């Protein structure tokens, strides 16, 4: 069955319409039947009235139901609570709620009244139909079929009336329930307005006040934070300025100190130049005995020293320094015009030392090498030949290898290939001594092969190359070589000088003792002096890095090496009498230089007798081998030219 809440009014109207229509049809049929059978007029009139009444009732109910449904439907579907909640002010809310209450209660009352009226009408219909049923039962004569038809129709009407009644009852109870709910809801809303809304408003106000005060506090904190930032900035800036002031003072003092140290370094270098300048004196004294035996062209040995020094120095200044310290070409050779073109004195050149001072200092190394060669070869060449040879030493022999090993000493970034791979030679053990010894050895070996053996009483076996007086000057010179390039602020100068002295002493003593306990002749002093110089040569490579005990070891072993090497040389390569001096020189400078270079790896590591640096040892041997190959090769080349010239 349709219900009001879910069906349209048209559907709701249908039963009553059908009832009226059915009643109308039944009565009409009855009239026709009566007219055909000719029944009495009084009964027709009664039936006609009943027909009209039933039709009217059905239409009335139909219209009433339509009106009721139209009134009821919007009230049920609209949500009044929502509308009330959106009311802005409390007073307005109350008024509006009252209006809503009135508006809602009026149709509800009307609906209830109309429903009650409808129920009364239904009861009337039932009563009428009951009467009609009785009348039909009484008038059953003559119209059996029509009576059955009418009875069926009346049963249908009765059934539908009952259903309609049940529906109406349901609807009324539903309306009643909804009304109760509505009243309850309305009461709740009114209660909310009067009590809870006030509390809610107070709570909101309190919350708003809290939020406001918290916002005020946050702003205060932000403001305080900014003031703190300003104070931090002020303190920081003041601190920076104070620090800068101190820094300026500190920088000024530092600059003064650096300037003073530089001046002292220059002074020390100048002093070292003086010290290394004793090399020619030492060799002049060493060659003093030779004055009675002139060179091949008649010049005395001391004059020869002078010639060698002049030629070597000149050659070194003209080309040698440029080859050695000029801008490197692949780490093999310096620029030729470095000195002559004035590039060496450029202010923009970031050189470690002043040009003139450094050249003077380095020139002494070259003189040292040239004089070693001169002393070793001696009377085998003329003065002019020695001069040319010294020129060669000053321009080519020392500068080329010197570039490989020392180029970075003048301009830090301008390194030769040996220096670049890590080869170390501080005081010229390899660059000067080994190089010169290698050259001498090759040269004299070549001469010895071509010269017949002779007994020369002027070359006694036990005559030292360096006499005692020469040896002192040589010691001073080596001290200059080893410590001259050190900075005065490094506190290494004195230990280096001490190491030089210790090594030399140990070398001399070791050679003396070795020879004393292995031989019985008078050569012990000669060995001792040779051992002393060998100790000097050996320690020159590592003097600044050795501990004192290590210096003693280096020197002592150097002394022993000197003795052994001399013996070996005399027995194998340099056997002739006139080669005694050369054998001593090769033993001193060659063997001593090689040992000194090896000592860089063996003793150069930080710490007393620390583990040797095997990698460095390889580099040192590479450097030494390079020096020997280069010097021997050059000596052979020069000797070849010399031999061709003599022919």
Partner 1 sequence: MANSKALLGVLALCLTGMCSHFGHAEETSLPRPSLYIGIENNRKPYVYFDANRQAQGFLVTTIQSACEQLDLKCHFVGGRPENLLLNLQNIKLNAVLLLDSALPPKVDALKLTHPPNIDHLKFTKPLCQLVPVLLHKKQAPARTKPEDFKNTTIGVQEGTVFHSYLVAKYSGVAHIKAYPLLESAIIDLVFNRLDGVLGEKTFFKARVFDTLLDEYAELTSTPADIQDLSTTRIVLAVREHDTDLLKQLNAALAPPASTTKACTELLASASVKPVKSNH
230 binds partner 1 (CB under 8 A): yes
Tell the burial category of 160 from Cβ atoms under 10 Å away from its Cβ (0-12, 13-18, 19+). Answer: middle
Question: What torsion do the CA atoms of 63, 65, 68, 70 make, to the nearest 10 degrees?
Answer: -80
Considering only residues 10 to 69 of the shown chain, the ones binding partner 1 according to CB under 8 A are none
**Which position among 156, 206, 232, 549 is part of the footprint of partner 1 (CB under 8 A)?**
232
Candidates 1-9, 156-164, 215-223, 449-457 — which segment interacts with partner 1 by CB under 8 A?
215-223
Q: Which CA distances in Å does 271 have to 65, 77, 160, 429, 495?
A: 136, 119, 143, 21, 17
Size of the site for partner 1 (CB under 8 A): 15
The three-class DSSP label of residue 299 is: coil
**Torsion angle of C-alpha atoms 83, 87, 92, 96, degrees rounded to 10:** 0
| Residue 219 beta carbon to partner 1: minimum distance, rounded to whole angstroms | 6
Candidate segments 34-42, 220-228, 293-301, 558-566, binder of partner 1 by CB under 8 A: 220-228
Please give the structure tokens belonging to residue 339.
């000195």
Q: Assign 411 to helix, strand or coil.
A: strand
| Cα–Cα distance measured from residue 65 to residue 57, given in angstroms and rounded to the nearest whole number | 12
Ramachandran class of 341: left when φ > 0, alpha when ψ lies in -120 to 50, beta otherwise: alpha
Q: Which is nearer to partner 1, 106 or 210 (CB)?
A: 210
For 66-94, letters b (16+ CB in 10 Å) and e give bebbeebeebeeeebeeebeebeeeeebe
Q: How far is the CB of 209 from partner 1 (least distance, A)?
A: 14
In 3D space, the residue among 285, 308, 474 whose CA is nearest the CA of residue 397 turns out to be 308
Choosing from 91, 98, 237, 243, the residue that interacts with partner 1 (CB under 8 A) is: 237
Residue closer to partner 1 by CB (options 185, 218) is 218
- Bridge partners of 472? none
Least Å distance between CB 250 and partner 1?
22
* Cβ 248 to partner 1 shortest distance, Å: 18
Instruction: Give the span between the Cα atoms of 315 and 335, in whole angstroms.
Output: 15
Q: Which is nearer to partner 1, 233 or 341 (CB)?
A: 233
215 touches partner 1 by CB under 8 A:
yes
User: Token digits for 14?
Assistant: 């249908």
Dist CA 448 CA 460 (whole Å)? 18
Q: How many other CB atoms sit within 10 Å of the CB of residue 550?
A: 24
- Choosing from 113, 124, 204, 233, the residue that interacts with partner 1 (CB under 8 A) is 233
Q: How far is the CB of 254 from partner 1 (least distance, A)?
A: 26
Nearer to partner 1 by Cβ, of 196 and 234: the residue is 234
Stretch in the footprint of partner 1 (CB under 8 A) among 222-230, 342-350, 564-572, 629-637: 222-230
Interacting span for partner 1 (CB under 8 A) from 152-160, 211-219, 301-309, 412-420: 211-219
Distance CA(241)–CA(220), nearest Å, equals 31
- Mark the segment that binds partner 1 (CB under 8 A) among 187-195, 230-238, 411-419, 493-501: 230-238
- Judged by CB under 8 A, the stretch of 154-162, 235-243, 488-496, 531-539 that binds partner 1 is 235-243
Nearer to partner 1, 216 or 332 (CB): 216
Residue keyed to tokens 């005081």: 427
**Could you say whether residue 548 binds partner 1 (CB under 8 A)?**
no
Using the rule CB under 8 A, is 226 a contact of partner 1?
yes
Q: In the complex with partner 1, which residue's Cβ is closer, 187 or 220? A: 220
Shortest distance, CB of residue 215 to partner 1, whole angstroms? 7
Q: Is 429 in contact with 546 (CB distance < 8 Å)?
A: no
CB closer to partner 1 out of 124 and 209: 209
Tell me whether residue 163 or residue 240 sits nearer to partner 1 (CB atom).
240
Is the Cβ of residue 173 or residue 237 nearer to partner 1 in the bound state?
237
Q: Looking at 142, 225, 245, 615, which residue binds partner 1 (CB under 8 A)? A: 225
CA distance 611 to 529: 31
Could you write out the three-class secondary structure of 101-129? HHHHHHHHHHHHHHHHHHHHHHHHHHHHH
The DSSP 8-state label assigned to residue 329 in this structure reads B
Return the range that interacts with partner 1 (CB under 8 A); candidates 221-229, 296-304, 363-371, 412-420. Answer: 221-229
Q: 245 vs 337, which CB is nearer to partner 1?
A: 245
Q: Does 223 bind partner 1 (CB under 8 A)?
A: yes
> What's the closest the beta carbon of residue 237 comes to partner 1, in angstroms?
4
Residue 204 found at the interface with partner 1 (CB under 8 A): no
Answer yes or no whether residue 218 interacts with partner 1 by CB under 8 A. Answer: yes
How far is residue 140's CA from residue 142's CA, in Å, rounded to a whole number? 6
Q: Indicate the DSSP class of residue 485.
A: T
Q: Does 236 bind partner 1 (CB under 8 A)?
A: yes
List of residues contacting partner 1 (CB under 8 A): 215, 218-219, 222-223, 225-226, 229-230, 232-234, 236-238
């Amino acid at each position: 069955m349709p219900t009001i809440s879910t069906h349209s009014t048209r559907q709701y109207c249908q039963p009553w319409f059908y009832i009226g229509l059915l009643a109308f049809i039944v009565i009409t049929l009855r009239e026709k039947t009566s007219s055909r059978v000719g029944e009495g007029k009084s009964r027709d009139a009664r039936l006609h009235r009943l027909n009209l009444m039933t039709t009217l009732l059905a239409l009335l109910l139909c219209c009433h139901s339509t009106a009721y449904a139209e009134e009821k439907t919007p009230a049920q579907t609209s949500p009044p609570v929502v509308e009330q909640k959106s009311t802005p002010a409390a007073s307005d809310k109350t008024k509006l709620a009252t209006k809503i209450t009135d508006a809602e209660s009026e149709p509800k009352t009307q609906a209830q009244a109309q429903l009650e009226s409808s129920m009364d009408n239904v009861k009337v219909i039932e009563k009428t139909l009951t009467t009609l049923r009785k009348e039909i039962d009484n008038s059953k004569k003559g119209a059996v079929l029509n009576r059955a038809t009418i009875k069926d129709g009346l049963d249908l009407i009765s059934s539908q009336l009952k259903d309609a009644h049940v529906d109406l009852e349901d609807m009324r109870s539903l309306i009643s329930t909804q009304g109760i709910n509505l009243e309850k809801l309305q009461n709740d809303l009114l209660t909310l307005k009067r009590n809870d809304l006030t509390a809610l408003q107070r709570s909101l106000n309190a919350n708003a006040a809290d939020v406001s005060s918290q916002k005020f506090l946050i702003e205060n904190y932000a403001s305080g934070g900014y003031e703190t930032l300003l104070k931090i900035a002020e303190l920081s800036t003041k601190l920076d300025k104070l620090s800068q002031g101190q820094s300026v003072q500190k920088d000024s003092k530092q600059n003064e100190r650096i300037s003073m140290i530089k001046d002292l370094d220059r002074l020390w270098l100048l002093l070292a130049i003086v010290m290394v300048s004793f090399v020619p004196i030492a060799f002049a004294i060493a060659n003093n005995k030779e004055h009675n035996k002139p060179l091949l062209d008649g010049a005395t040995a001391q004059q020869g020293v002078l010639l060698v020094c002049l030629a070597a120095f000149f050659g070194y200044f003209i080309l040698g320094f440029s080859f050695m310290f000029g801008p490197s070409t692949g780490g093999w050779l310096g620029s030729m015009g470095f000195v002559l073109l004035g590039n060496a004195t450029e202010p923009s050149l970031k050189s470690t030392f002043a040009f003139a001072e450094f050249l003077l200092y380095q020139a002494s190394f070259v003189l040292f090498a040239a004089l070693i060669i001169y002393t070793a070869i001696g009377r085998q060449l003329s003065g002019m030949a020695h001069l040319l040879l010294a020129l060669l030493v000053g321009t080519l022999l020392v500068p080329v290898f010197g570039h490989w090993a020392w180029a970075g000493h003048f301009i830090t970034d301008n390194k030769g290939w040996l220096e670049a791979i890590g080869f170390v030679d501080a005081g010229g053990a390899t660059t000067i001594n080994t190089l010169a010894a290698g050259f001498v050895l090759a040269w004299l070996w070549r001469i010895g092969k071509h010269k017949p053996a002779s007994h020369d009483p002027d070359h006694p076996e036990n005559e030292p190359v360096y006499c005692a007086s020469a040896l002192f000057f040589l010691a001073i010179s080596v001290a200059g070589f080893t410590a001259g390039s050190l900075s005065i602020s490094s506190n290494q100068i004195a230990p280096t000088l001490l190491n030089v002295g210790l090594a030399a002493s140990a070398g001399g003593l070791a050679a003396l003792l070795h020879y004393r306990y292995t031989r019985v002749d008078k050569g012990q002093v000669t060995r001792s002096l040779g051992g002393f110089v060998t100790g000097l040569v050996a320690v020159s490579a590592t003097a600044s890095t050795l501990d004192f005990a290590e210096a003693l070891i280096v020197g002592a072993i150097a002394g022993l090496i000197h003795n052994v090497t001399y013996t070996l040389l005399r027995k194998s390569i340099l056997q002739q009498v006139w080669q005694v001096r050369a054998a001593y020189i090769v033993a001193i400078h060659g063997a001593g230089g090689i040992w000194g270079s090896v000592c860089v790896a063996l003793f150069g590591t930080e710490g007393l007798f620390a583990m040797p640096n095997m990698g460095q040892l390889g580099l040192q041997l590479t450097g030494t081998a390079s020096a020997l190959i280069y010097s021997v090769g050059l000596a052979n080349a020069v000797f070849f030219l010399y031999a061709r010239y003599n022919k």
